[in-house]
Each structure stands twice: as C-alpha cells, then as structure tokens.
Homo-oligomer: A and B are copies of this chain.
C-alpha cells in the first residue's frame, strides 16, 4: 500500500470574470506529522460556499484573499488522525477550516468537536453552521420581520436562503422565495412551506413577484443582486430592511458596469422610503451563536426547518462543483465528500 499523501487544491491563477478550471491546480505533498501541540486532520467533508469567489480576487474585503499557490480556504468536517494536542484524540470528529485538501495540520485553534449522535456532522457546515447562522442572525437582527410582513429571499433553495424562508415562516411572516428553475420552486413550496416561489429564469419575474407580494416587501434578504434586485426593489415598502448577505449574480462581473446608473434612484428610495440596506458577516453575530444553536436544533427536531444537501464525491471534483455553484447548478447545501467519516 502506498504511503498516504496530502492532496490539495491551490489557487493557480486569479480569475478574470468567471473562474475557469485552470484557475485551480491539484497538488500532492507528503503527509505532515503533528509536532507538539498539533493535530493531524483527515478531511471528510468540504463546504463550498459563494464567498469563496471573493477570496480568489486580490481586493480589499473582510478577509485577506487566498494567495497564488495557496490552498483554497474552506470550512470542513474532519477526523482526528493523530493528536499531540490535549483537547482531541484520534477518531474525534471536528469542525475545522482545513480548506480544499485531504489532510491538514492544526494547532487546535477554532476546532469544534462534533457529536454525531446529536446531529449529522454535515449540518455543522450548513443549517447548524455558518450558513444557518447568517440566515438566522441576518433575518432576526437586520431583517426583523414582524408577523404578517412579507419576506422575500433570493437563492432561496440554497443553504442560507432555505433557512431564511423557513425562519421567516416560524416568525409569522410570509415567505416568498426566488430560485432558478421549476424543480427548486416546487421544493420551496411543497417541501419547505414557502408561501410562494418564483423561478427567476422564467419570463416576467417583476410582474409575478408583484402578484406574489400584494402588500409589498418588508424584508428582502439579498443573496444575489443583478436582475433579481431590479424585480424586488420597486416593491419595497416604507421602512423595508435589506440584509445583504451575498451578490452571487455579480461576483464574476468585470467592472465598470454599463449604464444607466441605478445608484441615484436607489439612494433616492432609501431616503424617501426610509430603507435600511445593511451588509454583514458571520463573525459580528458571534454573540447570537448559542441562541441560534438552541433554536435551530429545536426547529430541526420538530420538523419546522428542513434542509437539503448536494454532495459531490471526491476532492478533485471541488473546482467543477464550485463553478457550478456560481451558476446555481447545485440544489441544496453544496458539500464535497473528501473521505469517509
């Protein structure tokens, strides 16, 4: 049997516009051994998320970009293979940020032990993890829907959007989801209980959305930008709240964007309708994590929140799966199974 090696996917080139498979490179390296205080992790599941597109660009953001030749970043569920750290022992299953690779060393910072008896470990990357928290906190802290209000969410069948719509319903609001394709829309309505679901790929989104929101839109949970924004914006009510969680439709665009300039109109409506537009990232909501974990676990247990995973087999398929994510090809939380749990 050959010595096991670490396989890893590094950023080979910074994309211009839409990323290509050639922007990634699969490398192999000897398996590292843990030094004193270190842990050797074997990655079981890798989370693929839209924010990773931003890390590929060398621009100012809330996090530093991935360097050329560096392993692509990412949240992972991993198994402890060897430990010289007092907190974990071989066989422990942990949440880590090991990135797009089969193995990683850790000094223990940020590792969270997972109990597979409490919840499937994969949920730590989805509904009980970062996507669930930004859905929960973005909706409760920024969106603040009141009973009877209308919440619209884009990318609604995704990891964040599906949680947003279901939490909106739990809070007594109407949930209207926008997603790509009839299959996703049927899932939103029939399986997740959204009040309405609209296919942004079909004609006449603006008109259909207006019909689905007869009392306007009080919260627009923005995951997408682009044409979906244009459909939602005219429907925003006075004092509407717009949590901005993602803008996947424009991540690949190369500025400048062609006119007309929509900013003055948006600012005018911010003023005359007293709108709130607010961006946020996960870490500012750290204080909400305990409440999130408790609420979300209980909602999952009672069947009030359901989730769906889209699992791709094998690390080498991560780049292709990630490119598909940017096109909306996944259906549910996108995960890569890197090795068995």
Residues of B contacting A54 in the complex (Cβ-Cβ under 8 angstroms): 272
Are the C-beta atoms of B278 and A60 separated by less than 8 Å?
Answer: no
Are the C-beta atoms of A273 and B279 separated by less than 8 Å?
Answer: yes
Are the C-beta atoms of B277 and A277 separated by less than 8 Å?
Answer: yes
Q: How many A residues face the partner with a CB closer than 8 A?
A: 43
Contact of A278 among B264, B275, B281, B284 (CB under 8 A): B275
User: Who on chain B is nearest to A60 by CB?
Assistant: B272
Cα(A183)–Cα(B320), bound, Å? 61
Known: A257-B265, A259-B258. A279 touches B284 (CB 8 A): no
Cα(A255)–Cα(B263), bound, Å? 11
Asked if A38 CB lies within 8 Å of chain B CBs, one says: no
Interface positions of A from 206 to 257, Cβ below 8 Å from B: 222, 225, 229, 238-239, 244-247, 250, 253, 255-257
Are the C-beta atoms of A250 and B270 separated by less than 8 Å?
Answer: no
Cα(A247)–Cα(B255), bound, Å? 25
Residues of B contacting A262 in the complex (Cβ-Cβ under 8 angstroms): 257, 261-263
Are the C-beta atoms of B278 and A270 separated by less than 8 Å?
Answer: yes
Asked if A266 CB lies within 8 Å of chain B CBs, one says: yes
Min Cβ gap A215→B in Å is 15
Residues of B contacting A260 in the complex (Cβ-Cβ under 8 angstroms): 255-259, 261
Are the C-beta atoms of A247 and B267 separated by less than 8 Å?
Answer: yes
Most buried by B among A62, A245, A264: A264
Contact of A274 among B222, B273, B284 (CB under 8 A): B284
Asked if A61 CB lies within 8 Å of chain B CBs, one says: yes
Most buried by B among A62, A255, A264, A271: A271
Q: Contacts A62-B273, A244-B270 given; 10 further ones with Cβ under 8 A? A: A247-B267, A253-B264, A255-B265, A256-B260, A261-B261, A261-B262, A261-B263, A274-B280, A276-B277, A278-B278
> Would you give 17 A-B contacts (Cβ < 8 Å), ordered by A?
A61-B272, A229-B267, A244-B267, A244-B271, A246-B271, A247-B264, A250-B268, A253-B264, A257-B260, A257-B264, A260-B261, A262-B263, A272-B279, A273-B279, A274-B281, A275-B279, A276-B277
